[in-house]
Every structure is written in structure tokens, then in C-alpha cells.
Chains A and B, each alone.
Chain A
Amino acid sequence: MSARHTGDDRLRRLLIKSTAASAAVGALCAAGLLKPTRVLAAEWGRSGFAATSLPEALKAIGAAASAESGAIVIKSVEISENGALVPCEVISSIPDTQSIAVLVERNPMPLAASLSFAEGVLPRVRLQLKMAESSRIRVVVRAGDGKTYHASREVRVTLGGCGA
């Protein structure tokens, strides 16, 4: 396990390198100097994607205090024989859903995808994940009022799909 992780330090450093620049943009947004439109062709959110633990990733995407919600449905397989391709479908019934983030809690870098939707796009998506081991899949939904909600679902993996 440790041997597998040391090599990916280089990637992590690469990812973290530009965090300062993104943070500066974030500060400008917060100050109201740059007003993000509803769907911004945003810069890749390095701090979230490079995070190596669930709490870190949730904090980076501003979802550390999200409320659990039954209005998010996660469909996937119960047991996956191949962690390199795990199908997952997310459907949000939360009013004014603006974005959906998908995290695999026990992956080396939990945040897998973040999707934001313009008006008219249904707040649902089907995608295909890699899973290193059995884990919960956690979905975080952000609504128009800025509140975040989450739901999760356990998927058992018999053959991991990251180092394989």
C-alpha cells in the first residue's frame, strides 16, 4: 500500500502547486469582485481533487456541514467484480440543484467528479467510476441557496481498480 502511494506524491505536488492561484480567485469571488455566473467554465478545483481524505475533500468543496437527504438517489451495483469500471447513477430531487459532486470515500483521492448544471438540465447523471476497494459512494448536492446535501451508498469491490 505505501509503495503504491509514494509514487503518486509527484502528482499530488503538481496538483497542489496551483492551489494558491485558485485561492486568490476564490478570495476575489468572495469579495464580490468576480461574480460567478450560474455555470462557469470553471478552472479545475485542484484543492478538492488533490485531497487525500474524505474530510479534506468535503472541506475543499465547501460541504463539510452538508445535511443528509433522502431526496438524492444513488443507483449502482451492490458488488462490483471490477473496480476499474463501476457504473453509478445519481438523481437529485432537491429543488434548484446546481451541482452534483461524486466522492468515493476510500479512494486515494476521494473526489471523483463535480458537475454543474445550467437551468433546463435535469439534475441527474450516469457515470463510471474507478474504485480502489469496497467503499461508500457519497454524493453532495449544492442547491441554489448555497446549502449542501448528501447521501451515500455502499459498493463492495472484489478487484480494485486504481493500481490494477
Chain B
Amino acid sequence: MPEPIKIRAVQQGESTEIRILLQHPMETGLRRDQASGQKIPAHFITTFTVSAHGKVLINAQLNTSIARNPLFVFQSKGLQPGDRVRVAWSDNRGEQRADEATVVAA
């Protein structure tokens, strides 16, 4: 089971800051295991979406060159404290994870 997504959505005046920490190894496929010398196969998030009110706000496509356990920060209008924000990712092995958070007042 993949690690949960950490999401924090804070209302800042008219817009909402959405911080998303995707807990994922983001293996490039270029690294070698120190002990065996074998290549570590690529394992990385290829797409994630941020949605609210059943509508996709952001669609992201990623490559192996995004850092391990990467943080993304977005800002959106049209949200209010109490609204639910949903983040869902899938990776190159077909693993998936989705989590939700509630927008909080600053």
C-alpha cells in the first residue's frame, strides 16, 4: 500500500494555498544498488490530479527527474474553508493513491 499523500489547504484571502507532499521513492532507473551493483528499476509517479467540487483543478504529468517525496505548492481561487480537496496519483507500475483534505482558515 503506497504511503499517504500529505495535503494542507489553507485559505489566504481570496485564494487557497494547496501544499501537497507525495510520498514516493521517485526512482530514476539510473541508480545502482550499492551492495549488489544492480540497477534499481525506475519507479515514479507519472500523473497526479488535484480536484475539488468533483472538478479537476490541476493535472500534472511528471518524469523521473522530480525529487523523491516531492512537495508541490499551488494556489487556487474558488475554494472556501470547509471545501474538500482531493489529490490522486498513479505511477509507472500502476500503483495508485488518493487522499483528501479540508480547506482550513488561515
Contacts and interface: CB of A to CB of B under 8 A. Distances in A.
A and B: bona fide binding partners: yes
B23 interface: no
B98 interface: no
A4 B31 CA distance: 8
A17 to B, nearest CB: 12
Interface residues of B, number: 35
B61 A7 contact: no
Nearest to B26: A130
A137 to B, nearest CB: 11
Contacts of B71: 126-128
Interface residues of A, number: 42
Given A112-B66, A127-B66, A164-B31, A121 B61 contact: no
Given A121-B58, A125-B72, 10 more contacts: A7-B29, A41-B59, A85-B68, A107-B65, A115-B60, A121-B57, A121-B74, A126-B73, A129-B65, A162-B64
Closest 3 CB pairs of A and B: A128-B67, A126-B73, A120-B78
30 contacts: A7-B30, A39-B58, A39-B59, A41-B49, A41-B59, A49-B61, A84-B67, A86-B67, A109-B64, A111-B63, A112-B63, A113-B61, A113-B62, A113-B66, A114-B61, A118-B57, A120-B77, A121-B57, A121-B58, A122-B15, A122-B74, A124-B74, A124-B75, A126-B72, A127-B70, A129-B67, A130-B26, A162-B64, A162-B65, A163-B31
